[in-house]
Amino acid sequence: MAHRIERVVGRACVLRGHDIDTDRILPARFLRSITFDGLGEHAFKDDRAQAKGDHPLDDERFAGANVLLVGLNFGCGSSREHAPQSLMRCGFEAFVGGSFAEIFAGNCTALGLPCLVLEMRDLDTLMNAVDARPEQQVVVDVRARTVTCDVGTFPATIPEGTREQLLEGSWHGTAVLLEVGEEIERTAARLPYVSGFREADR
Amino acid sequence: MSGRSLLDKVWDAHTVRELPSGQTQLFIGLHLIHEVTSPQAFAMLQEMEARVRFPERTFATVDHIIPTHNQERPLADGLAEEMMVALEENTRAAGIHLFDAKSGHQGIVHVIGPELGLTQPGMTIACGDSHTSTHGAFGAVAFGIGTSQVRDVLASQCLALARPRTRRIDVTGKLAAGVYAKDVILAIIRRLGVKGGVGFAYEYAGPVIEALSMEERLTVCNMSIEGGARCGYVNPDDTTIDYLRGRPYAPEGDAFERATRWWRSVASDADAAYADRVELAGDRIAPSVTWGINPGQSVAVDERLPLPGELPDDERSAAEEAYGYMGLRPGEPLTGTAVDVCFIGSCTNGRISDLREAARVARTGRVAAGVKALVVPGSQAVARQAEEEGLPEVFRSAGFEWREPGCSMCLAMNPDKLVGRELCASSSNRNFKGRQGSPTGRTLLMSPAMVAAAALRGAVADVREVL
């Protein structure tokens, strides 16, 4: 079992915009490696270069933030786990947004990084509050399903199964999947294609 | 009580147990791996001192990093060579079959699975690549996963997942000449949006889908993920079964007949219940081109580009960002927009029928001066078939480059990249910022025949005027 993740407490960074894809989070050329080492320094590499220092990840006011606030459909596109790996390696421990692409959210869960969804109105309020006073404390509460900052506490959603995995510390999936032992082989044996559609399977 | 959908039947058949979290522990019937997202998974497995539980249910190939000019070993790019070696060592140690360049069966993972008959109806299929949805064309439940999940499948042949809801998408009527499967899926994504499919599996049906060949269905299912749907599928029918007969990994003889009965039985029941239903008029789909930075931003080739002011509120800022990046003008059609590069290939459109359609266009002229045009077959088998039909010569004599198989300029992890702000007419699947290898490069997605037409014209052209 991995450790239980109930809350992430810290400061937030505001990254506005919708449909930010994993090619932007981590351009494909940084996937040419057999490890995830060093990916932290390449997060949003091309967006940051084009913003010439005016990117939220280069904004001094957000330095040291461990919660990333994002828009709708964050992490769409490629399944590359390298994307959340790079964000984790540059210090982010939780994401709060309008919505998340499914594969990205699954990858985050596998890394123990909660992704919480807020109503758009609340997300705007939270982003504006953090933008105005980046030093304030932000609390991402997985158990309570809330996100709290100076101006209030907002109700958040997270798929129940994912929440359970984080709270129980079962987000590192392999051990849980192996618990059932031979039941995996029994399931396989019931599938006609696994045994090559032998006569006896009918 | 209503009937069950294919998604429900396949899901139930592969359920090992319901997990305490409420998710399903799902058995994965076919696991495909490649050089980019697997090496870290093997390293994690080693760290856990776990073994590969069902090595015979995983197959490997090399596609993302492989050069299309010179595939001789060692590869010129040291990092690519290192990934290649890791894949060879990991698969050898685990007893996993690798289709490498020497095998004669190497190619893009989503091209070789189907052509080898590895991909079959009723299976659950996972691969560390978002375009795994492609395999749903056979009536499989197929989806992309990340590297930690690749580790899980290697160790247990299972994944912990929440069951998606199912949206049935009926495409009615008949497609007009010059309109392809690519145009169908671009129209679906334009209608439902790039996030409309999150949490859903898409079931594609209706007369247009039923009339598509297997290769065309692969194109449609391939881009499910671009609409936010992690998996998309077509119910298996005669087309599916005819395609599978005689494939290297398909069952043979009596076993094939038994397989056929099972495959048909997993198709959605006529009275299956769906969480949502959508209908599109196939007759009204035109050759389509994307103009923005996500695959939902497309228009018919002769339609004027939307004015940001006339778009719904939630699409306006994305449109403005897209226009800023692409340098295109709202209110004008894309026809006549000059292109620098033309790319035919990818897991979306790198199959033999795609190359045949592009070659039909290529026969009518020559690549315009100053345009770089390349054709990258999806696999070695596709390349062999193309050679048998004389297609490389057709392309070469028209001024296209004919390359070796791989993912190539779809995501530019190999040496095939855009330079600077080059504009590329591309048969691939993503028009994201920087996707094709240059941080400022620009992509227009369209069918392979449309890409060929753009190559000859040196500008976006309506393929209906060429054919």
Give A113-153 pLDDT, tens digit per residue.
999 999 999 999 999 999 999 999 999 999 999 999 999 99
C-beta neighbour count of B331 within 10 angstroms: 10
Domain with CATH 3.40.1060.10 in chain B: 165-284
Residues in CB range of A29: below 8 A, 6 or more apart? B412, B413, B437
Q: In the predicted model, is pLDDT for residue A200 greater than 70? A: no
Q: Is B251 on the interface with A (CB under 8 A)?
A: yes
Contact check, Cβ <8 Å, B21/A36: no
pLDDT at B196: 97
Q: Is A99 on the interface with B (CB under 8 A)?
A: yes
Give A47-62 pLDDT, tens digit per residue.
999 999 999 999 999 9
User: Is the distance from CB of A168 to CB of B20 less than 8 angstroms?
Assistant: yes
Q: In the predicted model, is pLDDT for residue B2 greater than 90? A: no
Q: How confident is the model at residue A202 (pLDDT cuts 50, 70, 90)?
A: very low
Q: Is A148 on the interface with B (CB under 8 A)?
A: no
pLDDT at A2: 85
Q: How many CB pairs lie under 8 A apart between chains A and B? A: 221
Backbone angles phi, psi at A156, to 5 degrees: -130, 160
Contact check, Cβ <8 Å, B22/A164: yes
Packed helices B352-362 and B214-222: angle between N→C axes, nearest 10 degrees: 100
- What is the spatial distance between Cα B121 and Cα B250, in angstroms, rounded to a whole number? 11
Domain with CATH 3.30.499.10 in chain B: 6-161, 288-465
Q: In the predicted model, is pLDDT for residue A174 greater than 90? A: yes
User: Is the distance from CB of B60 to CB of B198 less than 8 angstroms?
Assistant: no
Q: In the predicted model, is pLDDT for residue A1 greater than 70? A: no
Positive or negative, the CA dihedral B450, A79, B218, B247 is: positive
Q: Is B432 on the interface with A (CB under 8 A)?
A: yes
Give B33-79 pLDDT, tens digit per residue.
999 999 999 999 999 999 999 999 999 999 999 999 999 999 999 99
Contact check, Cβ <8 Å, A162/B122: no
C-beta neighbour count of B346 within 10 angstroms: 29
Q: Is B434 on the interface with A (CB under 8 A)?
A: yes
- β-bridge mates for residue B372, sequence order: B341
Q: In the predicted model, is pLDDT for residue A103 greater than 90? A: yes
- What is the spatial distance between Cα B246 and Cα B253, in angstroms, rounded to a whole number? 9
Superfamily designation of domain B6-161: Aconitase, domain 3 (3.30.499.10)
Query: Residue A52, by phi and psi: left (phi above 0), alpha (psi -120 to 50) or beta?
Result: left
Nearest-Cα residue of chain B relative to residue A159: B162
CB contacts under 8 A, A 58-77 vs B, are 72-73, 76-77
Q: In the predicted model, is pLDDT for residue A158 greater than 60? A: yes
Q: Is B110 on the interface with A (CB under 8 A)?
A: no
Nearest CA to CA, how far is A64 from chain B (Å)? 26
- What is the spatial distance between Cα A3 and Cα A167, in angstroms, rounded to a whole number? 9
ipTM of the complex: 0.96
- CATH number, domain B288-465: 3.30.499.10
- What is the spatial distance between Cα B93 and Cα B130, in angstroms, rounded to a whole number? 26
Q: How confident is the model at residue B313 (pLDDT cuts 50, 70, 90)?
A: confident
Contact check, Cβ <8 Å, A81/B122: no
Give A20-46 pLDDT, tens digit per residue.
999 999 999 999 999 999 999 999 999
Q: Is A103 on the interface with B (CB under 8 A)?
A: yes
For residue B301, give both structure tokens.
């080739």
Selected from 3.10.450.50, 3.10.28.10, 3.40.1060.10, 3.30.1490.20, the CATH number assigned to the domain covering B165-284 reads: 3.40.1060.10
Q: In the predicted model, is pLDDT for residue B407 greater than 90? A: yes
For residue B370, give both structure tokens.
């100053």
Q: Is A189 on the interface with B (CB under 8 A)?
A: no
- What is the spatial distance between Cα B18 and Cα B26, in angstroms, rounded to a whole number? 9
Nearest-Cα residue of chain B relative to residue A201: B258
| A36, A76, A193 member nearest B29 (Cβ) | A193
Contact check, Cβ <8 Å, B413/A107: no
| A99, A160, A201 member nearest B22 (Cβ) | A160
Place of tokens 């029994």: A186
CA dihedral in degrees (A72, A77, A82, A87; nearest 10)?
A: -20
Tell me the pairing of strands A152-157 and A146-149: antiparallel
- DSSP output for B203-241: EEESHHHHHS-HHHHHHHHHGGGGGT-SEEEE---HHHH
First to last CA, chain B: 50
User: Is the distance from CB of B116 to CB of A73 less than 8 angstroms?
Assistant: no
Contact check, Cβ <8 Å, A107/B148: yes
Chain A residues near residue B41 by CB distance under 8 angstroms: none
pTM over 0.95: yes
Q: Is A176 on the interface with B (CB under 8 A)?
A: yes
Contact check, Cβ <8 Å, A193/B53: no
Domains of chain A in start order, with CATH, are 7-171 (3.20.19.10), 172-202 (no CATH)
Residues in CB range of B310: below 8 A, 6 or more apart? none
- DSSP output for B306-335: PPGGGS-HHHHHHHHHHHHHH-PPTTSBST
Q: Is B419 on the interface with A (CB under 8 A)?
A: no
Contact check, Cβ <8 Å, B130/A77: yes
Burial A63-80 (b: 16+ CB within 10 A, else e): eebbbbbbbbbbbbbbbb
pLDDT at B21: 86
Query: Residue B159, by phi and psi: left (phi above 0), alpha (psi -120 to 50) or beta?
Result: beta
Q: Tell me the H-state helices in chain A.
A: 22-25, 45-51, 82-89, 102-110, 120-132, 160-168, 173-178, 183-190
Rounded to the nearest integer, the mean pLDDT of chain B is 97
Contact check, Cβ <8 Å, A193/B86: no
Preceding omega of B207 cis (within 30 degrees of 0): no
Query: If DSSP states are collapsed to H, E and C, what string results for A79-107?
Result: CCCHHHHHHHHCCCCEEEECCECHHHHHH
- β-bridge mates for residue A14, sequence order: A69
Contact check, Cβ <8 Å, B21/A188: no
Chain A residues near residue B67 by CB distance under 8 angstroms: none
Q: Is A200 on the interface with B (CB under 8 A)?
A: no
pLDDT at A201: 44
Contact check, Cβ <8 Å, A79/B22: no
Chain B residues near residue A202 by CB distance under 8 angstroms: 258
Nearest CA to CA, how far is A107 from chain B (Å)? 6
